[in-house]
Amino acid sequence: MELWNTNLSTAERNVTYSPIIPGAWAAAGLHEVEVYSTTWRKFAAEFIGTFLLVLVGCGSTTVAWSEGYKPTTVQISLAFGLIVACVVQCLGHVSGAHVNPAVTVGLLSAGHVFLLRAVMYIAAQCAGAIAAAVVLKALTPEESESTLDVTTVSPHLTLTQAVFVEAFITFFLMMTVFGARSARGSAGFAIGLSITTCHLFAMQYTGASMNPARSLGPAMVTGVWHNHWVYWMGPLAGGIAAGAMSSCLFRPSVPKAPVRPTRDSEHRDNPTKEMEELTGQLHQKVIKTKDRKKLHTWTSAAFFPGSVTCAHTAALVGYHMCQSAYDIYL
C-alpha cells in the first residue's frame, strides 16, 4: 500500500502498513514506526516535551533580574523536577515522554523499544532542546542570559569523576523510570522527584544534566562546548547499565502454570483402554435414565425441534467433542 496513492481513502492514507517486513527490519523495529500518523504524533510529543523541559528548566537559572538576585539550588532542582513531572503526565500516553536520549537508550538496552523508534526519539529530543534554547535566548534580556545554564564540570573534579557522577544520577533516574512503569501510582511524580533529588546532589559537581539533549541545546546556542562529551558518555552509560540490570536482575517474575496432576501409569501407557472406560461410564449413565423418551424429546427440542434423528446426531457430535477434549488432554 503506497502512502501517496491518490486512489486511497483518507483512512488508508493515515494508517499505512508495509506488506512484508523482512527479518532485519523487524529486528530494528519497523513495526513501531510504520504507522505514519502515530509515528508523527510520537515525534511531535518528544519534540514538545523536550522543548518545555529545556525552556522552563534552563530558564530557571537566569540571573540579574533584580539587584543581587541569583537562583538557588533548590529553585533550579524543583523547576527541573516539576516540569518533567508535568511533561510525563501530559504526554506520557502519546510517546512515553522520554524527553531524554539517555532514557531512550536505556529502554532500548532493556528491550522496551526498538532501534528505529529510538533513533527517531533522539532526533526529536535534540531538535526540541535546540529550539527551546533559541527561544529562551530570544526571550531573555542580555543582562539576564548568563550562559543559559550550559552544563560545566566543577574545576575541583576530574573528567573521570564527572563521567561517573553523570552515570550514577542517570542510573538512579532510569531505575525510577523502570519502577514507575511496573508500579501503581503517579509515574510523573516519581520521575520528577528523582530528577529533583539528583539535582540537589549533583548540581555542584557537574550541573546535574543526566540528559544529553538538555546539555546540547544551550551549548549549541552559546557555542560553549567545553567537556561536552562528558554529558553524552556519562548519561548514556548510566542508562545502558540501568537497562541491563533491569532486564537481567529485576524483571518481573512470570507465575508458573499449575502442574497438571499425574495420571495412572496404566492409562498413560494405554490411552485406548482409558477411552473405552470413559465410554462405558457414559453408556451406563444413559442406561440409568428413567425416561429415555423424555430425554430424546428434550434433546430434539433443544437442538432441532421435531427431529428425533437429529438428537442422535447431536449426541454423536457431543461424543466427538469429548474425544477431542480427551486428545488435547493427552
Over residues 3-48, the pLDDT tens digits come to 333 343 444 344 444 444 555 555 566 666 666 568 889 999 999 9
Can you give the pLDDT at residue 306?
Answer: 44
In this structure, the answer to whether residues 174 and 88 fall within a common structural domain is: yes
In this structure, the answer to whether residues 153 and 276 fall within a common structural domain is: no
Can you give the pLDDT at residue 279?
Answer: 61
In this structure, the answer to whether residues 170 and 223 fall within a common structural domain is: yes
> Domain for residue 223, yes or no?
yes
In this structure, the answer to whether residues 290 and 151 fall within a common structural domain is: no
Can you give the pLDDT at residue 88?
Answer: 94
C-alpha span between 219 and 217 (Å, rounded): 5
Q: 88-105 burial by CB neighbour count: b if 16+ within 10 A, else e?
A: bbebbeebbbbbbbbbbb
In this structure, the answer to whether residues 66 and 115 fall within a common structural domain is: yes
End position of a domain, from candidates 180, 213, 248? 248
End position of a domain, from candidates 217, 248, 279? 248
> Domain for residue 19, yes or no?
no
> Domain for residue 216, yes or no?
yes
Do 222 and 136 meet the contact criterion of CB atoms below 8 Å apart? no
Return left, alpha or beta for 260; rule: phi > 0 is left, psi -120 to 50 is alpha, else beta: beta
pLDDT, tens digit (0-9, with 9 covering 90-100), for 203-220: 999 999 999 999 999 999
Q: Give me the CATH number covering residue 67.
A: 1.20.1080.10
> Domain for residue 12, yes or no?
no
> Domain for residue 196, yes or no?
yes
Q: What is the pTM of this model?
A: 0.68
In this structure, the answer to whether residues 204 and 55 fall within a common structural domain is: yes
* Three cell numbers, residue 236: 548514556
> Domain for residue 254, yes or no?
no
End position of a domain, from candidates 187, 216, 248? 248
In this structure, the answer to whether residues 108 and 220 fall within a common structural domain is: yes
Can you give the pLDDT at residue 327?
Answer: 56
In this structure, the answer to whether residues 227 and 274 fall within a common structural domain is: no
> Domain for residue 176, yes or no?
yes
User: pLDDT 10s per residue in the chain (330 long)?
Assistant: 333 333 434 443 444 444 445 555 555 666 666 665 688 899 999 999 999 999 999 999 887 777 777 889 999 999 999 999 999 999 999 999 999 999 999 999 998 888 889 999 999 999 999 999 999 999 988 776 667 889 999 999 999 999 999 999 999 999 999 988 777 778 889 999 999 999 999 999 999 999 999 999 999 999 899 999 999 999 999 999 999 998 888 766 655 555 555 555 444 555 566 556 666 665 565 555 544 554 444 444 444 444 444 445 555 556 656 565 555 545
Question: Which residues constitute the domain of residue 223?
Answer: 35-248
Do 330 and 271 meet the contact criterion of CB atoms below 8 Å apart? yes
Single-letter amino acid, residue 180:
A
- The total number of structural domains in the chain stands at 2
Count Cβ atoms below 10 Å from residue 236 Cβ, excluding itself: 20
> Domain for residue 5, yes or no?
no
